[in-house]
């Protein structure tokens, strides 16, 4: 195996633990790999997901017992993600000591935006990438369970009957406890969240994932596709292939099919994002100012955006502490000045805002416009980029020794 190679992966036949569990997602390859990693201490724990109050709402949990991996709520995580203030990166930073304990290797499944958040947090010494094993997820976006429940109501389907969800080739297929399935075309009957539709980074491109995992792909069969992204990813896949999985290297033609599939999704997303930016660009300076301020005026100072943002890491946040005395406009301008240039466009702030303020769009546009000032600036792209507003960054920009 070499870094950069893609493999179709399936679990070996006769894996007792796998067969005794009712698998909720995919063909079982990812669960077999994660189970193998825990059993063989290739990681000490996995950050996993379990249902919070119903099938549509998850919370993060730490799994140490290999057999518990088979109960991972993967289909919900892929379809809906962690809700509200939870995110994989924030959990690692705040609840797992930023993965800074050198005697504890932490395995995570992370979307491309989680990985970008890891990078921004690592730049600020909030997490250590060295102690993570990252399985990067190909991600076409996440569905808002509230929207899905409206669609289910219209279709007279009891939400409690949903046991599993698969997103593939632009279709969300729900498996029901009656043994039947119900398919909804994305973009027509239900859609992913708007900022996901505009997210032009559907696979992790940064040099942080050890493996990437593709389940939504146009290739024949139900194989799960893995790409080897690092030396430790290669070692894990090679070892797992000796015991629990069967791997088949993808042909160049299949790899091209995968790349074309993602490139087309990313191109559509880029065009949508550009059209949103264009709406702001077409406004006069006064109109844009009014648009932003009138949105900020709606703010109720609930602080959910700050709590949800994966790159807001201050333990003693000045804005939170002074929220009752600060004007809502000042709250938002302060927040924007703190995270606006590092926003990795995950959309969490927009998701949680009770006033539907387009926070993600405003931050993203700020990042875009700042590229004129800081050419090449790309939050979450590489650990090597010095944050332009840091002391080191400002010193470099001024040419000082
Ligand atoms: S912002 Fe991008 S990476 Fe993050 S959940 Fe949405 S589509 Fe996936
Ligand atoms: S500002 Fe919003 S979109 Fe940007 S990283 Fe924070 S939560 Fe995500
Ligand atoms: S989530 Fe919305 S309402 Fe709450 S503090 Fe943030 S901008 Fe204001």
- Verify that 76 and 222 share a domain, yes or no: yes
- Verify that 223 and 314 share a domain, yes or no: no
- The range of the structural domain enclosing residue 226 comes to 6-142+200-260
- Verify that 64 and 183 share a domain, yes or no: no
- Verify that 148 and 137 share a domain, yes or no: no
Residue 109 bridge partners (DSSP): 135
Close Cβ partners of 315 (under 8 Å, ≥ 6 residues apart): none
352 close to ligand 3 (CB < 6 Angstrom): yes
How far, in Å, is the centroid of ligand 2 from the Cα of 321? 20
- Residue 269 in any domain: the answer is no
Per-residue pLDDT reduced to its tens digit, 275-321: 999 999 999 999 999 999 999 999 999 999 999 999 998 888 889 99
- Verify that 122 and 212 share a domain, yes or no: yes
339 close to ligand 2 (CB < 6 Angstrom): yes
- Verify that 210 and 338 share a domain, yes or no: no
Domain end point (choices 228, 260, 292): 260
How far, in Å, is the centroid of ligand 1 from the Cα of 296? 24
- Verify that 237 and 252 share a domain, yes or no: yes
- Verify that 113 and 174 share a domain, yes or no: no
Instruction: For residue 58, report the phi and psi dihedrals to the nearest 5 degrees.
Output: -115, 160
**What is the model's pLDDT at position 63?**
97
How far, in Å, is the centroid of ligand 3 from the Cα of 347? 13
Residue 173 bridge partners (DSSP): 166, 183
Task: Give the DSSP per-residue string, 337-370.
Answer: HHHGGG-----HHHHH-TT---HHHHHHHHHHHH
- Residue 38 in any domain: the answer is yes
How far, in Å, is the centroid of ligand 3 from the Cα of 308? 10
Ligand nearest the Cα of residue 380 is 2
- Verify that 38 and 134 share a domain, yes or no: yes
Are the C-beta atoms of residues 386 and 393 closer than 8 Å to each other? yes
Q: What residues does ligand 1 touch, defined as CB less than 6 Å away? A: 111-113, 139, 141-142, 195-196, 199, 201, 346-347
Q: Which ligand 1 atom sits closest to the C-alpha of 142?
A: 5
- Residue 272 in any domain: the answer is no
Of 113-122, 145-154, 335-344, where does mean pLDDT reach its minimum?
335-344
Provide the number of structural domains found in the chain.
Answer: 3
Q: Which ligand 2 atom sits closest to the C-alpha of 340?
A: 1
Residue 385: pLDDT band with limits 50, 70, 90: confident
- Verify that 217 and 68 share a domain, yes or no: yes
Per-residue pLDDT reduced to its tens digit, 207-229: 899 999 988 888 887 789 999 99
């Amino acid at each position: 195996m070499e870094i950069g190679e893609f493999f179709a992966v399936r679990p070996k036949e006769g894996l007792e633990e796998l067969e005794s569990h009712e698998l909720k997602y995919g063909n079982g390859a990812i669960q077999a790999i994660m189970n193998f990693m825990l059993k063989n201490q290739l990681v000490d724990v996995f950050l996993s997901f379990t249902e919070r109050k119903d099938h549509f709402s998850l919370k993060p949990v730490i799994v140490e017992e290999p057999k518990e991996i088979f109960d991972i709520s993967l289909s919900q995580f892929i379809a809906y993600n962690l809700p509200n203030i939870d995110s994989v990166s924030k959990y690692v930073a705040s609840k797992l000591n930023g993965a800074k304990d050198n005697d504890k290797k932490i395995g995570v499944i992370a979307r491309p935006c989680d990985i970008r958040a890891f990078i921004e947090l690592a730049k600020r010494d909030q997490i250590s990438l060295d102690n993570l094993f990252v399985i990067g997820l190909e991600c076409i976006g996440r569905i808002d369970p509230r929207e899905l429940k409206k669609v289910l109501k219209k279709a007279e389907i009891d939400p409690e009957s949903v046991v599993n969800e698969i997103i593939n080739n632009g279709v969300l297929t729900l498996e029901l406890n009656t043994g039947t399935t119900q398919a909804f075309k994305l973009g027509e009957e239900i859609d992913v969240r708007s900022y996901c539709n505009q997210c032009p980074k559907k696979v992790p491109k940064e040099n942080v994932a050890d493996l990437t995992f593709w389940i939504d792909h146009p290739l024949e069969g139900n194989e799960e596709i893995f790409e080897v992204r690092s030396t430790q990813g290669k070692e894990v896949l090679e070892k797992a292939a000796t015991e629990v999985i069967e791997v088949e290297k993808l042909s160049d033609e299949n790899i091209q099919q995968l790349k074309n599939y993602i490139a087309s999704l990313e191109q559509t997303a880029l065009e949508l994002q550009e059209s949103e930016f264009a709406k702001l660009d077409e406004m006069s300076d006064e109109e844009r100012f009014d648009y932003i301020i009138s949105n900020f005026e709606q703010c109720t100072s609930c602080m959910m955006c700050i709590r949800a943002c994966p790159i807001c890491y201050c333990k003693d946040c000045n804005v939170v502490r002074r929220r009752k005395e600060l004007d809502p406009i000042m709250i938002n301008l302060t927040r924007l000045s703190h995270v606006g240039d590092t926003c990795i466009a995950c959309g969490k702030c927009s998701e949680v805002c009770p006033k539907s303020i387009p926070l993600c769009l405003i931050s993203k546009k700020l990042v875009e416009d700042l590229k004129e000032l800081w050419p090449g600036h790309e939050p979450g792209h590489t650990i090597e980029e010095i944050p332009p507003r840091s002391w080191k960054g400002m010193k470099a920009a001024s040419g000082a020794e």
